[in-house]
Structure 1
Amino acid sequence: MKLSVVVITFNEEKNIGRFLKTVADIADEVIIVDSYSTDRTKEIASEHPSVTFISNEFKGYGQQKNFALSKCRGEWILFPDADEVVDEQAKESIKQIIAGKGNADVYLLKFNNILLGKHLRYGGWGSVSRERFFRNGFGEYSDDKVHEKFLTSGRISTLNGRINHYTYHSVSQHIDKINRYSTLMAEKYVSAGKKVGIIKIVFTPWFTFIKDYIFKLGFLDGVIGLYAAVTTSYYAFLKYIKLYLRKKS
């Protein structure tokens, strides 16, 4: 078996069908590790007979991804998120590497980040790369609840092609995720013994906004660039105020 495509999911009914269609022509196996979705994720996945669907309790992104890795049998692993689509150039590059024409163990893929229908090119969104394709056994994830890191001692290169990342389809979906992620980050900080004071709570959101919108040229992405900078600063505020309140209680 050459290529395992694996993804973790929770309520991804809007994305999982597209995801499965775009990897069907390159995957020898497709593994979905789901955190007991309450929408149609499992139903849609069951329409694809080549999919192995596994339900597993969510204890954090790092643990869930490592559990998913343990189920992969392929020599190579492609591990995108459910809202990511590998383009045709990247898929062709993957085929070439699997055929023995690569020179690395881990490959970064560059992202096209699409927020509320707009491809963002500035504000820190236009220069994102992630480890999404790697040789089985040459990487694992840090044991973090959120913002987990990919850990490897293998040789790293960049894959030709890109991932189209369809981040959020509505403001309400985005705000819901900001709320969940900021809670997980506060829990992560509490576990690490991190403390926060009123100065950091007040000034970090403003610094984050100015950095993304002004210095990283987010204003060039128009109204959605403004929205991106505001919501990123809002996330910074939420994670620190939640940490402060947890420490105070």
Structure 2
Amino acid sequence: MIKLSGVIITFNEERNIEKCLQSLVNVVDEIVVVDSFSTDNTKRICLKYNVKFIEQKFLGYIEQKNFALGHASNNVIVSLDGDEALSEELQESIITLKSNWQFDGYYCNRFNNFCGQWIKHSDWYPNKKLRVFDKRFAEWKGINPHDEIVLKDHRKAGKLKGDILHWTYQSYSEFNAKTEYFSTIAAQAYFEKGKKAPFYKLIWNPFWAFFKAYFLRLGFLDGNNGYIISKETGKITYLKYKKLRKLYSNN
């Protein structure tokens, strides 16, 4: 029977971290928390549980998560963010894997809660994520802040029943602030990779991002919150390229 390590990175997650830990304690054999020196009660809450708590200055989302993998004792990982938790059905699916591991990684659907509403459409569901994997055959990649686990050498992945429950933003102002924050990180990451920002991307890419989320992915079925999510999807795309163009003009 294989052993599992739950791995979490945190910063000021007192609002959600207990739900995350409670969903893992009966599933994994150890829990590793890498915290970026939280200033709230995150550390105190984590230390109520039998976790390996490591404090590390934030390295970037991808870099921090790869750092955290290096501190897991077991090869098979269940990776969550501090504002996520395993549904009961997903907990049962992962426990079953301990005696029936067939692939090198497993995808799960992520179910996002926005301002108290579970979002069932737009780009937010099923929001497939590979979060259960053998770390010998996988690593975190992507362009910050959009990290993803990538399996190496064409390794195969399966699919698990159940959802990762994700509590996103509790207010529109919080969502707007994060849009500004993440667009800045994305623009800097694009700049460092030499990606260009021709003018047409300021017009076409935001329009397409909104249209896809609201119409093609049926965001309108989630009511006003579906519209807000789709609008912010277009806005973050616009800001990313606007800030990227500014980086080039300043250099």
Aligned to 2:128: 129
Aligned to 2:10: 9
Cα distance in 1 between the residues matched to 2:54 and 2:103:
30
- Contact 1:63–1:143, Cα closer than 8 Å, also in 2: no
| Contiguous gaps of at least 5 residues in structure 2 | none
Please give the alpha-carbon distance, in whole angstroms, between the structure 2 residues aligned to 1:77 and 1:11: 23
Distance 1:208 1:76 in 2: 35
Aligned to 1:241: 242
User: Deviation string for 1:88-117 (max 9, x for gaps)?
Assistant: 121111111112x13212000112222111
* SS across alignment from 1:65: helix
Q: Which residue of structure 1 lines up, in the alignment, with residue 56 of structure 2? A: 56
Residue in 1 aligned with 2:226? 225
Task: Kindly provide the CA deviation profile for residues 32-80 of structure 1, in whole angstroms up to 9, marking residues without a partner as x.
Answer: 11112222211221222x1111111212111111100000112421001
Q: Does 1:85 align with 2:85?
A: yes
Residue 23 of structure 1 pairs with residue 38 of structure 2: no
Q: Which sits farther off after the overlay, 77-86 or 144-153? A: 144-153
- The answer to whether the Cα contact below 8 Å between 1:60 and 1:144 also exists between their aligned partners in 2 is no
Partner of 2:203: 202
- RMSD of the alignment, in Å? 1.6
Residue identity matched to 1:247:
Y
Taking the TM superposition and a 5 Å limit, the aligned residue runs for 1:61-140 are 61-99=61-99, 101-140=100-139
| Offset at residue 143 of structure 1 (A) | 6.6
Are the aligned partners of 1:76 and 1:98 in contact in 2 as well (CA < 8 Å)?
Answer: no
Q: Is the contact between residue 112 and residue 164 of structure 1 (CA under 8 Å) also seen in structure 2? A: yes
**1:149–1:136 CA distance, 2 compared to 1 (3 A):** closer
The one-letter amino acid of 2:150's match is L
Residues in 2 aligned to 1:203 and 1:127: alpha-carbon distance in whole angstroms: 25
**Count of matched residue pairs:** 247
